[in-house]
A and B are shown apart, each in its own frame.
Chain A
């Protein structure tokens, strides 16, 4: 992993845990979460969902903001004179778009969360049963504590 002098951690809603890989790799780095107001409006997210995320975030050492995610994360990075942004992976297309915007001004490193199935080869995703034929071979492998 490339190492940075003054990274910040951008936490998004797929990884609301104090064991976030970015927080573990850079325990002294400032971390930020931004409530995506456009997303909340587009998807008509009700209050209880916001509250649930908020309660997760209160267990994490992270500054809470709301508004436009890319703009707020960039502003937070400038405030801390950061040289890089560290985040965790997500399959969401919106995540990709935000990363692309952030990369216009700064390197962004995406860390993996522990995979459920530790296998990088081909997976047939046509139906669950076909996926499971491969996944089953790895799904019961427990990592050392």
Chain B
């Protein structure tokens, strides 16, 4: 009986809790010791649920400052369930076309979870060949330091890197841009990027994360996902480009048409695959 050593449950403040968790989990603190401003717990999850607006969600979800729910960490850990979130939003939004987009996004999580039950650790392996004209061996195994430290000089990428490490949350669009940059611009294996995300994301989920990385990489989709400056600038309201040293020097690696980018990033792929 003495073999069990329960951890503490009473804390005077969040600071007190953070100090205790840091002391009890030194290896995790060594990896990265930030505490996210996003609080854990079902109560906080229910507050986020109360703020969901299906119609506004559908209209603005692709924008970094759009009305996304930020429910993902709570859903990931079951603090709220997919079905109760759906029930709440559908009941409050009787018009089907207004809740449709949100329910469809929830369904992505259900889909990835079902695939996880079927594939198990297979989610770490390429589901299909890359459609980029490159072989897996052409991609580096490790994530470059400048990306992890947020020192690439691209203000957007460095900003996403910092947010990931400091808050453990990124907007879906930022995740897609970051993943595309890692895999296609830097030619790094998606697995390296996926591991980095799982280290930091509060919603880090092996299925949603790895299969989304595979979708960007093209090992689980019919073509690679890429973006350009125009796209990023639009959905971020120019927030990053405005002060970016690369944008102002005309050295932005994203400032091209999709045709140019396809030809540069995937020179060996058949044009229709780019």
Give chain A nearest CB distance to B191 CB in angstroms: 13
Given the known A-B contacts A48-B202, A131-B114, are A114 and B83 also in contact in the complex, defined by CB atoms under 8 Å?
Answer: yes
Name the residue among A14, A16, A46, A72 with the largest chain B CB count within 10 angstroms. Answer: A46
User: When chains A and B are docked, how far (Å) is the Cα of A45 from the Cα of B90?
Assistant: 35
Chain A-chain B contacts (Cβ-Cβ < 8 Å), number = 191
Given the known A-B contacts A47-B33, A52-B36, A116-B82, are A125 and B114 also in contact in the complex, defined by CB atoms under 8 Å?
Answer: yes
Does B149 lie at the interface of the complex (its beta carbon under 8 Å from any beta carbon of A)? no
Within the complex, which residue of A44, A52, A132 is in contact with B40, where a contact is CB–CB below 8 Å?
A52
**Number of A residues contacting the other chain (C-beta, 8 Å)?**
57
Does A25 lie at the interface of the complex (its beta carbon under 8 Å from any beta carbon of B)? no
Given the known A-B contacts A65-B4, A72-B4, are A55 and B17 also in contact in the complex, defined by CB atoms under 8 Å?
Answer: yes
On whether the beta carbons of B78 and A46 are closer than 8 Å, the reply is no
Given the known A-B contacts A76-B4, A142-B90, A142-B91, are A18 and B42 also in contact in the complex, defined by CB atoms under 8 Å?
Answer: yes
Per-residue 0/1 for B179-204: is the Cβ within 8 Å of any A Cβ (1 yes, 0 no)? 00000000000000001001111101
Within the complex, which residue of B90, B116, B168 is in contact with A48, where a contact is CB–CB below 8 Å?
B168
Does A115 lie at the interface of the complex (its beta carbon under 8 Å from any beta carbon of B)? yes
Per-residue 0/1 for A41-63: is the Cβ within 8 Å of any B Cβ (1 yes, 0 no)? 10111111111111110110001
Per-residue 0/1 for B115-131: is the Cβ within 8 Å of any A Cβ (1 yes, 0 no)? 11110110000000000
Given the known A-B contacts A17-B79, A48-B200, are A142 and B86 also in contact in the complex, defined by CB atoms under 8 Å?
Answer: yes
**Chain A residues in 8 Å Cβ range of B87:** 142-143, 145
Given the known A-B contacts A16-B77, A113-B81, A125-B115, are A44 and B3 also in contact in the complex, defined by CB atoms under 8 Å?
Answer: no
Which residue of A is nearest B86, CB measured? A116
User: When chains A and B are docked, how far (Å) is the Cα of A140 from the Cα of B87?
Assistant: 8
On whether the beta carbons of B83 and A54 are closer than 8 Å, the reply is no
Does B206 lie at the interface of the complex (its beta carbon under 8 Å from any beta carbon of A)? yes
User: When chains A and B are docked, how far (Å) is the Cα of A88 from the Cα of B79?
Assistant: 13
Within the complex, which residue of B42, B121, B168 is in contact with A59, where a contact is CB–CB below 8 Å?
B42
Does A98 lie at the interface of the complex (its beta carbon under 8 Å from any beta carbon of B)? no
Surface stretch bound by A, among B20-28, B55-63, B151-159: B20-28
Name the residue among A19, A35, A54, A125 with the largest chain B CB count within 10 angstroms. Answer: A54
Does A106 lie at the interface of the complex (its beta carbon under 8 Å from any beta carbon of B)? no
Does A121 lie at the interface of the complex (its beta carbon under 8 Å from any beta carbon of B)? no
Q: Which residues 129-145 of A sit at the B interface, judged by CB distance below 8 A?
A: 131-132, 135-136, 139-140, 142-143, 145
**Chain A residues in 8 Å Cβ range of B201:** 49
Give chain B nearest CB distance to A77 CB in angstroms: 11
Does B110 lie at the interface of the complex (its beta carbon under 8 Å from any beta carbon of A)? yes
Does B242 lie at the interface of the complex (its beta carbon under 8 Å from any beta carbon of A)? no
On whether the beta carbons of B35 and A48 are closer than 8 Å, the reply is yes
On whether the beta carbons of A91 and B40 are closer than 8 Å, the reply is no
Give chain B nearest CB distance to A95 CB in angstroms: 10
Does B39 lie at the interface of the complex (its beta carbon under 8 Å from any beta carbon of A)? yes
On whether the beta carbons of A128 and B33 are closer than 8 Å, the reply is no
Does A3 lie at the interface of the complex (its beta carbon under 8 Å from any beta carbon of B)? no
Apart from A50-B28, A66-B25: 5 A-B pairs, beta carbons within 8 A: A52-B38, A55-B44, A116-B86, A116-B109, A140-B86
Chain B residues proximal to chain A, CB less than 8 Å: 1, 3-9, 11, 17-18, 21-22, 24-25, 27-29, 31-36, 38-44, 73, 77-84, 86-87, 90-91, 96, 99, 103-104, 106-111, 113-118, 120-121, 165, 167-168, 195, 198-202, 204, 206-207
Q: Which 7 A-B pairs have the closest CB atoms?
A: A55-B40, A91-B117, A46-B32, A15-B78, A52-B40, A64-B7, A116-B82
